[in-house]
Structure formats: structure tokens, C-alpha cells
Amino acid sequence: MSARSAAARFGIGISTAIAWIASARQGRLTPAKQGRRGGSRLDAHEDFIIGMIEEAKDITLNEMVLRLHVERAVSIGRSALDVWLRKRGWTFKKDRTCTGAGPS
């Protein structure tokens, strides 16, 4: 069966049929892995990030992002760093003394 007749038979594009037949002839019929790759580029800098937190307990995400960029050449967004920290159980809550400006 030709690629054109296979394309017509299965209702797919001719170029798709040609590509699939070429893949089959080369033995590449296994599907590619689906989904996102595992891990994060922050994983390699975990010790540095935890060290920043232990060094200054009140460090902000913005300060951490800046230090990662300056000291480690890692460009990452604040929310991505927040998600990475939360997945590892690091959460930060303000105490009652930081909640507002107080009575006026």
C-alpha cells in the first residue's frame, strides 16, 4: 500500500502518512515520552537556597531570586521559587507583630 492510499484509507494527511511509514521503516515506532521532565533547575542549588534561609530567616522571595541571579546565574521567577519551596515544606508566615500599621 502506498503512502497516498494509506493516507486516504485512514483519513490522514499525505505528509503524515509518509512520515509514519518512514519512521516504521527505520524502526522508530515507539511513542515519545509524554509529560513534563522531572526535576527543577533549582534542585542543583538546594543547599545554597536553604543556606540563604538559615542565614537570614526574614529573607524575602525577591531577595532570594536576586541572589540566585547574581551569585549563581540562575534566572527564575518569584512564584516558581515559591512553588519549589512549598513542595519541600518551606512556608513562611508573618507573626502578629507584622500584620498591620496599627491604630491611627
Question: Is the pLDDT score of 14 beyond 70?
Answer: yes
Single-letter amino acid, residue 80:
A
Q: How far apart are CA 64 and CA 44, in angstroms?
A: 15
Percentage of residues in the chain with pLDDT exceeding 70? 88
Q: Which of 94, 93, 92, 90 is nearest to 49 (CA)?
A: 90
Q: Within a 10 A sphere around the Cβ of 87, how many other Cβ atoms?
A: 9
pTM of the complete model: 0.56
